[in-house]
């Protein structure tokens, strides 16, 4: 099994920052901190007379956090997807008898992907029929 590697310094600042934020944002403690902040904001309403500025604080804060998190999440997903694709390509390369034309499939256009998906759906249906044949006459 692969060892967990320490972050490398040659990665961009954005990559290091987005990984740290992704790890932090995905923790249960972060959810509870965010919930507590909303409760505190709601409880502070009577002290501020529920005025427009009081409402603007939470609206602006949540809008900014949401906007920035879109980019953090997309960066994290892009890195994860690229790593998975590389690992799958490595498995295809090393597996004897594997169809090497399946390497780098993510670069194909939708029509070609649908054609290949159809081939695999047909193979799966055939394999299910062999594994669990339907009773004769049905």
Instruction: Give the pLDDT of residue 135.
Output: 76
Q: What's the confidence (pLDDT) of residue 6?
A: 60
Give residue 104's pLDDT.
87
Is 108 part of a structural domain of the chain? yes
Residues 28 and 74 in one domain: yes
**Does residue 87 share a domain with residue 37?**
yes
- Kindly state whether residues 106 and 91 are assigned to the same domain: no
The DSSP secondary structure of the chain, one letter per residue, reads: -PPPPPPPTTS-HHHHHHHHHHHHHTSHHHHHHHHHHHHHHHHHHHHHTT-HHHHHHHHHHHHHHHHHHHHHHHHHHHHHHHHHHHHHHHHHHHSTT--GGGTTGGGS-HHHHHHHHHHHHHHHHHHHHHHSPPPTT-
pLDDT at residue 62, rounded to an integer: 96
Summarize the confidence of residues 115-131 as an average pLDDT: 92
Has residue 5 got a pLDDT over 80? no
Q: What is the dihedral of CA 101, 105, 109, 114, to 10 degrees?
A: 80
Query: Which range marks the domain in which residue 110 is found?
Result: 102-131
Give the confidence band of 133 by pLDDT, cuts at 50, 70, 90. confident
pTM, to two decimals = 0.66
pLDDT at 83: 93
Q: For 72-86, what is the mean pLDDT?
A: 93
Instruction: Please indicate, yes or no, whether residues 109 and 93 belong to a single structural domain of this protein.
Output: no
pLDDT at 131: 87
- For residues 34 and 85, membership in a common domain is answered with yes
pLDDT of residue 100: 87
Both 27 and 94 in one domain: the answer is yes
User: In terms of domains, do 89 and 42 share one?
Assistant: yes
């Amino acid at each position: 099994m692969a060892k967990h590697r320490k972050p490398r310094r040659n990665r961009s600042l954005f990559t290091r920052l987005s990984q740290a934020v992704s790890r932090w944002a995905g923790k249960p403690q972060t959810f509870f901190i965010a919930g507590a902040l909303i409760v505190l904001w709601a409880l502070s309403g009577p002290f501020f007379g529920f005025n427009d500025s009081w409402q603007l604080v939470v609206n602006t804060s949540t809008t900014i956090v949401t906007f920035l998190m879109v980019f953090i999440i997309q960066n994290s997903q892009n890195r994860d997807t690229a790593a998975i694709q590389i690992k799958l390509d490595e498995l295809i390369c090393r597996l004897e008898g594997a169809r090497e034309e399946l390497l780098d499939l993510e670069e194909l256009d939708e029509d070609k992907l649908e054609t290949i998906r159809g081939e695999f759906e047909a193979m799966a249906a055939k394999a299910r029929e062999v594994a669990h044949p339907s009773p004769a006459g049905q």
